[in-house]
Amino acid sequence: MSIKIENVSKSFGSFQALSDISIDIESGELIALLGPSGSGKTTLLRILAGLEGLDEGAILFDGQNITNVSPKEREVGFVFQHYALFRHMTVFDNVAYGLKVRPRKTRPSKEEIAKKVKELLTLVKLENFADRYPTQLSGGQRQRVALARALAVEPKVLLLDEPFGALDAKVRKELRRWLRKLHNEFNVTSIFVTHDQEEALDVANRIIVMNNGKIEQVGTPEEVYDRPNSPFVYDFLGNVNLFRGRLHKGKLTQGEFEIHVPTYLDSHEEAVGYVRPHDIQIEKEKVNNETVAAKITYIHIIGPIVQVELKREDSEEYLEAELTKEQYLDLNIQKGETVYVRPKQLRVFIPEDFSI
Ligand SMILES: Nc1ncnc2c1ncn2[C@@H]1O[C@H](COP(=O)(O)OP(=O)(O)OP(=O)(O)O)[C@@H](O)[C@H]1O
């Protein structure tokens, strides 16, 4: 099922929670709605489910305007952060629930329901837990039951609100992998809300980055991470180093230090260069003014990645570089040493577009 969100706005009293949101989602996509707390992710998800009304705009499922269609008729599966399972029902009955409460005409037979529940429990690797009650399960297991229950009714769209939010890091990772696999099998258009950038980058085929009720950027994980279109996205998705300076004749200059930015040949204004840690090159010798001297304050080795924290000698600002273990060993650098830093790739933003 494809989803079209057309110019959707929503206010709560005088507070504008969503402002003119438009997105096209293709059938079978796995989308992450990513943004800080209060950015409007849950509100958008609830509007898609029909649990919340909208002030302006429209929602289309497969080209059909369903803005005024009730939640039940939308055929949407919903999974919340706090696995709202029925406590007094077994795992089996929880998963079977949506099928059992169907009107007689569309309700499958008892045998069909049992077969389906068994299949789903096998899929979520809980086939031996059918007779347990929710309180006898771990958090991760409960969340898998909630997913099986949402899938039992064969929804056309699956909406997940921070589905793994309450779980510990290891279980989250396992469930993430498992959600991707499940999505590949069912191929149901799925949208999940998260404020965890790693979760979004790891699971989704596209990410919608939200901020203050607006969409900041939509793109594949690679696009939003490597080519953020705003300072907000740079900051929100991963670490970033800022180089403040003045644009002059195709260079961003800070005192003697200059970075080539040929696309800004005719600009003469204050600007900020954004550089990801893995785009910071460390050199032992000063060759020209395209490097800046910095002292290594900390080296942190995490498996194959080496994080290096440096303090600029001209401005006291801190920088973060990320090297492969091999680069690190080749460079042979030590804490306390003065080295020269060169931004390999940077993106320039001019302050008139944002506040810095
Ligand atoms: N029913 C409501 N009445 C009044 N304000 C609301 C209501 N629901 C949401 N809001 C406000 O709208 C804004 C967006 O809320 P929403 O829950 O969509 O954000 P979110 O991005 O999902 O945040 P979080 O990550 O914290 O869940 C928040 O400032 C919230 O306080």
| pLDDT at residue 327 in the model | 95
- Per-residue pLDDT of 282-308, as tens digits, reads 999 998 899 999 999 999 999 999 999
Domain finish residue from 188, 206, 236:
236
If you take atom 2 of ligand 1, which residue's CA is the nearest one?
12
Cβ atoms of 255 and 335 within 8 Å: the answer is no
Residue with structure tokens 């403040």? 244
Task: State how many domains the chain has.
Answer: 2
The helix-helix angle for 139-152 and 169-186 (nearest 10°) equals: 20
Across the range 310-337, mean pLDDT stands at 95
- The pLDDT-based confidence of 176 (bands split at 50, 70, 90) is confident
| pLDDT at residue 83 in the model | 62
pTM score of the predicted model: 0.84
Domain residues for the domain of 307 are 241-353
- Per-residue pLDDT of 31-54, as tens digits, reads 999 999 999 999 999 999 999 999
Domain finish residue from 214, 236, 258:
236
Q: Which residues line ligand 1 (CB under 6 A)?
A: 12, 15, 17, 35, 37-43, 195
Same-domain pairing of 280 and 147: no
How far, in Å, CA of 280 to CA of 324, rounded? 12
- Span from the CA of 148 to the centroid of ligand 1 (angstroms): 27
The CATH number of whichever domain residue 264 belongs to comes to: 2.40.50.100
Cβ atoms of 296 and 336 within 8 Å: the answer is yes
Domain finish residue from 184, 217, 236:
236
| pLDDT at residue 356 in the model | 43
ipTM of the complex: 0.93
On the question of pLDDT at 242 being above 70, the answer is yes
- Span from the CA of 42 to the centroid of ligand 1 (angstroms): 7
| pLDDT at residue 64 in the model | 95
How far, in Å, CA of 161 to CA of 99, rounded? 22
Q: Which residues contact 207 (CB under 8 A, 6 or more apart)?
A: 31, 32, 34, 200, 201, 217, 218, 219, 220, 221, 224
- What average pLDDT does the chain have? 91
